[in-house]
Amino acid sequence: MSDLLHRLRGRGWRMTSQRRVVAEVLDGDHVHLTADEVHARAAERLPEISRATVYNTLGELAALGEIAEVSTIGRAKRYDPNAHHPHQHLVCSRCGTVRDVHPTGDPLADLPPAEQFGFTLTEAEVTYRGLCPDCA
Amino acid sequence: MSDLLHRLRGRGWRMTSQRRVVAEVLDGDHVHLTADEVHARAAERLPEISRATVYNTLGELAALGEIAEVSTIGRAKRYDPNAHHPHQHLVCSRCGTVRDVHPTGDPLADLPPAEQFGFTLTEAEVTYRGLCPDCA
DNA sequence: TCTTGACTTGGACTGTGTCCATCGTAGGAT
DNA sequence: ATCCTACGATGGACACAGTCCAAGTCAAGA
């Protein structure tokens, strides 16, 4: 994830220990942490980091497109650092576990212009729901 | 929506003025209200209805499959009474407006078995995001 | 090394939703 | 028609997710 830190520097970000730690926590594939989980893991390395800073940093990273916010129904947002590799999510309806999946086809192409109602489309998010093997 | 009230009766629901009003508020197509909006509209007809009752009733209707919960990112859940007619949603990233859309193809069929990881799939929800004509 | 404005902090605050003890009432029983 | 009672409604306290703000801190350019 030093790539990320490098890119952020290039965008004029001031590098702080807090931001570095948040970026490190989000390193890796198949990571789908809530903001509070990010805060807990960051606090292991930097005990005095505040929730506000974690929220700020996650929000900025999402606005820059470096991480993706995963939508949920009635749960806390999850943050996905795998934003540069298009994929979708498979969510357990009971326990909320998230897995990355790669469906065939391009959902954006499946929406005919007549169904776009003048919107400027930016994204098609597909969420598969079901019960994971543990909950079934 | 007397169909709905009828079906609920058949399922052993006790009919109360509160439940009737909530069901009436949710009548119609292309309705995507938050729980508080449902409460506000219900309160116009039945001023003393409580938030808890609205939440309970919406939760029960959703559990019965009579209405669908629409997932959001960082906003209040919205409830869609059009649950018996499969469709997807187009959401404005700025103002949160929701429109029903009907993409071609079947997203559930786009997930190969090797990508299902032992989950028992029940649903594929597609959310198109972009800016609506007013916000663009 | 100095300076400065961007960043961090923690606590208060808001919005969304849940829980619970108590009261009320729909609808079956008589 | 009236009574009973279990199911539903109430509202206030509570919990969780997230935001805001004033004050203090510090990264990095001069």
CA distance B103 to A108: 9
Residue nearest D6, CA–C1′ metric? B14
**pLDDT for residue A71:** 81
Asked whether residue B34's C-beta has any atom of DNA/RNA strand C within 7 A, the reply is yes
**pLDDT for residue B4:** 83
**pLDDT for residue B2:** 60
pLDDT, mean of residues A29-52: 95
- Block residue for tokens 């079934």: A136
CA distance A118 to A131: 36
**pLDDT for residue B16:** 95
> A74 and B77: CB-CB below 8 Å?
yes
Asked whether residue B62's C-beta has any atom of DNA/RNA strand C within 7 A, the reply is no
CATH class of B2-80: mainly alpha
pLDDT digits (tens, 9 = 90+) for B32-89: 999 999 999 999 999 999 999 999 999 999 999 999 999 888 789 999 998 888 899 9
Which positions of strand C lie within 7 Å of protein CB atoms?
Answer: 6-11, 15-20, 25-27
Phi and psi, residue A95, nearest 5°: -100, -10
Confidence of residue B90 (pLDDT cuts 50, 70, 90): very high
Per-chain mean pLDDT for chain A: 90
**Boundaries of CATH 3.30.1490.190 in chain B?**
88-130
Output B35 or A4, whichever has higher pLDDT: B35
From the CA of B93 to the C1' of D15: give the distance in Å: 28
- A32 pLDDT above the threshold of 60: yes
- B133 pLDDT above the threshold of 80: yes
**Boundaries of CATH 1.10.10.10 in chain A?**
2-80
- A84 pLDDT above the threshold of 80: yes
* Among candidate residues A92, A67, A98, the one with its CA nearest the CA of residue A80: A67
B103 at interface of A, judged by CB pairs closer than 8 A: yes
CA distance B131 to B136: 5
A121 at interface of B, judged by CB pairs closer than 8 A: yes
The percent of residues above 70 in pLDDT, for chain A, comes to: 99
User: Closest chain B residue to A127 measured between Cα atoms?
Assistant: B125
| Max avg pLDDT among A115-124, B34-43, B71-80, B116-125 | B34-43
A88-92 and B98-101: which strand pairing?
unpaired
- A39 pLDDT above the threshold of 60: yes
Query: In this complex, which of B102, B122, B129 lies closest to A115 when CB atoms are compared?
Result: B102
- B131 pLDDT above the threshold of 60: yes
Per mean pLDDT, which range of A17-21, A92-96, B125-129 is the poorest? A92-96
Output A10 or A32, whichever has higher pLDDT: A32
Which positions of strand D lie within 7 Å of protein CB atoms?
Answer: 7-12, 16-21, 26-28
CATH superfamily of B88-130: Ferric-uptake regulator, C-terminal dimerisarion domain (3.30.1490.190)
Q: b/e string for A8-38 if b means 16 or more Cβ within 10 A?
A: beeeeeeeeebbbbbbbbbeeeebbbbbebb
